[in-house]
Homo-oligomer: A and B are copies of this chain.
Amino acid sequence: AWKGAPEFTAEGGWRFKPRGRMQFDAASVGNPNGNIPTANLGFNSRSRRILFGFEGDVPGGIKWRAEFDFAQGGVGYEDVMFQYAPKGSPVSAQFGYFYPFQGLETMSSSGATTFIERAQMTDAFVHSRRIGAAVGYVQGDLRFNAGLFNDSINANFDNDDWMFGSRLVWSPEALGGRIHLGATYQHREFQSNALNFQYRARPFVQTTDVRFTDTGLVAARGDDIYGIEAAGIFGPLHVASEAQWVKTDTIANPATLTGIESVAGGTAFAGNADFFSWYAEAGWWLTGETRGYRDGSWQRTSVKKGFDKGGWGAVGVNLRYDYLDLRDRVATGTPATSFAAPNFVNGGTQTGYLASLIWQPIDYVRFMAQYTRAEIEGGPRAAVVVPGSTAPIPDRDYGVDIFAVRAQFEF
C-alpha cells in the first residue's frame, strides 16, 4: 500500500512504514506599543518541525513507532514507543515515550490542527511527552487510557519527578454526525531538586520566545490538572471546545525544605495558585471534506478532488476563541503588596481571536494562513508595555496582532 510513502507488509501481520513531516513557518508578531527592546519580535521564519521516523506492526499484537524532530539543529522526539494490543482483547499496554493523555488538541497530530499552533493550554500547562508505561481499554465508542510517567527523554540523572495521566473518551455517532466527549486528569510531582514549575504561553506562534503571559518559576511540589472536552463533526462542519483547570501545590515557605529539596528555587506564594484555560472553535471545509477523526483524536483530512485528479484540493476556514488565565490571588495582603508575591500570581491573561485559512492541494501538502488578535491583561510585560498607567500592573491591557503562514508536507 502507499500512504504518502510506501507501506510494506508481510505474512503473519508484519508492517513497516516511513513517517515524516516538514513544516516551515513565517510569522510577524507585533511589538506592543513598540516598548519591548528585542529583536525577537517582528518577522521571523523557521522550520517548525522536520520529523522523520518509522512505524510498524509485529506479529503477536505489537505496534511500534519511533519518530524524531530534527528541526532546531538538535534531536527532538515525537512518539518513541511500542504497544502490546492482543487481537480481540479490549486491553492494551504501551511502553516508551508518548503523551500522558492530556486532551483532544494535545493528543492530535500537529499535522492535523486547524490553527498553526495547538490551543494555549498545551503550551501554558506544559503538556509534553514523557517516558512511561500505560494501559488502555477500548470498548466500542468508549476508550480509557492511564499511565505512570517519569520525565522527558534527556541526558539528566536526577529525574525523580513523576506523573499520573488519564483520559476517558466517548465518541458515538449521533445527531447525523459524530460527537466527542472527553475528560482528563493528571497529577504531577516535580523533581525533588527542582521543586518549582513555570506556566507560560507564547503568543499563538512559535517564531518568537517573547511571552506576554508567564508566571515565572513558582515554588511548588506538584499540581493537578482537570480537563473536559467536547466536539462534533457534521459533514464539512466541525465544532470543538476544551477547558482545563490547574491546581498547584505551592511551597509557601521554602526555608523549611532540607537536603536535596533545599536547592529548589522559584518564587514562594502564600497559597495554592489556580490557573485556567479554555477555547472554542468552529471550522468549515468549503470544498465539502469532513475533518479527519479517529480513536479519540483529530486526523489528517482526506481531500475530495486534489491536484493529482485535476481538482483544486481542499479549502477550509476556521475561527477560534482561546482564553488563558495565569493570574491568581492566593492570599489577602496589605495594600502595598496585594498585587505581587506572595499574595498574587501575576502571570497575566491572554485572549486570542484567531482566524485561519487552510489549503490542501492534495492529502499530504498543506498551506495555512492565520491572523490572530491577542489581548493581554497584566503579566510580566504589562509594566513595560503600558508604563504610564496608574492601574495595578496585573490590570493593564494591551493587544498584539500576529500574522503567520505555514507550508507543510508530510507522509
Q: A residues engaging B (CB < 8 A)?
A: 2, 4-6, 8, 10, 12-14, 16, 18, 20, 22, 24, 26, 37-40, 42-47, 50, 52-54, 56, 58-62, 64, 66, 68, 70-77, 80-82, 84, 95-97, 131, 133, 150-151, 153-155, 157-160, 191-193, 207-210, 259-260, 306-308, 361-362, 364-365, 407, 409, 411
Chain B proximity of A358: nearest CB distance (Å): 16
Chain B CB within 10 Å, residue with most, of A16, A24, A131, A133? A24
Cα-based distance from A24 to B287 in the complex (angstroms): 45
Cα-based distance from A365 to B2 in the complex (angstroms): 27
Q: Is the CB of A39 within 8 A of B260?
A: yes
Question: Which residues of the other chain, B, contact A207 by a CB distance below 8 angstroms?
Answer: 157
Question: Which residues of the other chain, B, contact A2 by a CB distance below 8 angstroms?
Answer: 10, 14
Question: Which residues of the other chain, B, contact A80 by a CB distance below 8 angstroms?
Answer: 22, 47, 50
Q: Is the CB of A73 within 8 A of B155?
A: yes
Q: Is the CB of B10 within 8 A of A60?
A: no
Q: From A82, which residue of chain B is reached at the shortest CB distance?
A: B409
Cα-based distance from A159 to B13 in the complex (angstroms): 48
Question: Which residues of the other chain, B, contact A260 by a CB distance below 8 angstroms?
Answer: 37-39
Question: Which residues of the other chain, B, contact A14 by a CB distance below 8 angstroms?
Answer: 2, 6
Q: Is the CB of B42 within 8 A of A365?
A: no
Give the residue of B26, B43, B362 whose beta carbon is less than 8 angstroms from that of A58: B362
Q: Is the CB of B74 within 8 A of A39?
A: no
Q: Is the CB of A61 within 8 A of B307?
A: yes
Question: Which residues of the other chain, B, contact A77 by a CB distance below 8 angstroms?
Answer: 70
Additional 19 contacts, C-beta under 8 A, given A6-B16, A44-B160, A46-B131: A6-B10, A22-B96, A39-B260, A45-B151, A46-B153, A47-B96, A52-B54, A52-B68, A56-B411, A59-B307, A60-B307, A62-B409, A64-B409, A70-B75, A73-B76, A73-B153, A75-B75, A84-B361, A133-B407
Question: Which residues of the other chain, B, contact A24 by a CB distance below 8 angstroms?
Answer: 95-97, 131
Q: Is the CB of B72 within 8 A of A50?
A: no
Cα-based distance from A310 to B158 in the complex (angstroms): 41
List 7 tightest A-B contacts by C-beta distance, closest first. A59-B308, A60-B307, A60-B308, A39-B158, A40-B157, A39-B193, A45-B150
Q: Is the CB of B362 within 8 A of A62?
A: yes
Asked, given contacts A54-B18, A66-B20, A80-B22, whether A97 binds B47 with beta carbons under 8 Å apart, the answer is yes
Chain B CB within 10 Å, residue with most, of A14, A210, A306? A14
Q: Is the CB of B39 within 8 A of A153?
A: no
Give the residue of B60, B193, B210 whose beta carbon is less than 8 angstroms from that of A361: B60
Can you identify 7 A-B contacts, CB atoms within 8 angstroms? A6-B10, A22-B82, A24-B95, A39-B157, A40-B158, A44-B150, A84-B361
Chain B proximity of A48: nearest CB distance (Å): 11
Asked, given contacts A74-B74, A308-B59, whether A47 binds B131 with beta carbons under 8 Å apart, the answer is yes
Question: Which residues of the other chain, B, contact A13 by a CB distance below 8 angstroms?
Answer: 308
Cα-based distance from A208 to B159 in the complex (angstroms): 10
Cα-based distance from A82 to B307 in the complex (angstroms): 15
Chain B proximity of A323: nearest CB distance (Å): 25
Asked, given contacts A75-B73, A82-B409, A306-B60, whether A66 binds B44 with beta carbons under 8 Å apart, the answer is no
Cα-based distance from A364 to B56 in the complex (angstroms): 12
Q: Is the CB of B153 within 8 A of A5?
A: no
Chain B proximity of A171: nearest CB distance (Å): 29
Chain B proximity of A407: nearest CB distance (Å): 4
Question: Which residues of the other chain, B, contact A4 by a CB distance below 8 angstroms?
Answer: 58
Chain B proximity of A195: nearest CB distance (Å): 11
